[in-house]
Amino acid sequence: MAIPHETLDAQTMRYWEKEAARFDGLAERATFGWLARGYARRAKRARDLAERCRAREIARGRLPAEAAGA
């Protein structure tokens, strides 16, 4: 059986997860509080976007449903 191709949602989910981790790192290293808060907001938005893509992948049946809580 052939492995199904990776969907754009799966690629986008991975991208936003990496971006969230990058923004978290930038927020930790930020010198000014306002800059750290901005990075933290960007990280939260990236995690929200990744979760939206993850939900579509679960609905499509490509990810197990318990991955939604991870």
Query: Looking at the predicted structure, is the pLDDT value of residue 27 above 80?
Result: yes
Mean pLDDT within 59-68: 76
Q: Which domain holds residue 48?
A: 8-62
* CA pair distance 37, 3, nearest whole angstrom: 41
| 3-state SS class at 1 | coil
45 in a domain, yes or no?
yes
Total-model pTM: 0.81
46 in a domain, yes or no?
yes
Per-residue pLDDT tens over the stretch 37-52: 999 999 999 999 999 9
Query: Looking at the predicted structure, is the pLDDT value of residue 69 above 60?
Result: no
Query: Looking at the predicted structure, is the pLDDT value of residue 61 above 90?
Result: no
Structurally, the chain folds into a number of domains equal to 1
3 in a domain, yes or no?
no
